[in-house]
Amino acid sequence: MQCEVKIRPAAGEGIEAAGILGISIMETQPGQRHVGLLIRPEKMQGALMHVHMGWDGADHFFCEPPPTKAYWIDFESVDEVAQANIADIVHTIFQSNSETGLPYSVMLREGHSFNLTNHKVEVEFGEGFTCASFVLASLAAAQLELVNRASWPYREEDEKWQRLMIGHYLARTNKPLAEAQRDQIGKAARFRPEEVAAAVSCFEDAPVEFDRVLPLSLIVLRLIGASAVSAE
């Protein structure tokens, strides 16, 4: 089945038009994209919130009003009851981990990264999240596997990004965590923000394969006016 990238800008009707569950994407600076989850949790009386993982080496983890400069895609293929359940679980993930934060890492844990009962993070030291893999792990905690992770290849250009991000840690806040990731440089597959956004566009009822996502991710980049290399 052919997919259509139904991405919408914050301008015009505005991001407040987003539904119960969606994904945001924006270019934070040339070559750097950022993704997060847009949710309307019941505990917030349906207010639109933006839950996302920071990338500056400080384990920043946010649940806040949505950005005004982002683009977004709704989960149109997921029924509203399921969307509401996922939104509530994502909000609980934030509440359960907001005090401690989440570890930034290029290493996404195999299987679940959050306890399925209390939704606290459960990863080994060195494992953690980027903004893109946080979206995947949070949805998985709500029983929605957005992509087939095993289909994601390592790409040579990812090594430069991995050195940048791990070096960013070494230069700033968490040298032990950075050192724990060093052996993943040049090995770990990377989920790029535009690929996660593209996967939302073509998700139906089964995890999306990399080969299906890749051409759509290039459309996402074009539609948001982004440059070619992503560094988040």
DSSP helix/strand/coil, 51 = strand
DSSP letter at 36 equals: E
Which single residue is written with the structure tokens 């539609």?
223
Q: What is the mean pLDDT of residues 200-226?
A: 94
Q: Has residue 231 got a pLDDT over 50?
A: no
Q: Can you give the pLDDT at residue 172?
A: 74
pLDDT of 80 over the 90 cut = yes
| pLDDT tier, 173 (very low <50, low <70, confident <90, very high otherwise) | confident
Mean pLDDT over 80-108 rounds to: 95
pLDDT value of residue 130:
93
Q: What angle do CA 142, 52, 179 make, to 5 degrees?
A: 100
Mean pLDDT of 26-32: 87
Q: In this predicted model, what pLDDT tens digit does every residue of 123-166 receive, in sequence order?
A: 999 999 999 999 999 999 999 999 999 999 999 999 988 988 88
Give the residues across from 74 on adjacent strands.
Answer: 22
Task: Give yes or no for residue 22 having a pLDDT over 90.
Answer: yes
Contact predicate 138/93, CB 8 Å:
yes
Provide the percentage of residues in the chain whose pLDDT is more than 70.
Answer: 91
Query: DSSP strand E in the chain: where?
Result: 8-9, 21-29, 32-39, 49-53, 61-64, 71-74
Q: Which residue has the higher pLDDT, 59 or 205?
A: 205
- Binned at pLDDT 50, 70 and 90, residue 29 comes out as confident
pLDDT of 227 above 60:
no
| pLDDT reported for residue 31 | 83
**Looking at residue 171, what is its pLDDT?**
65
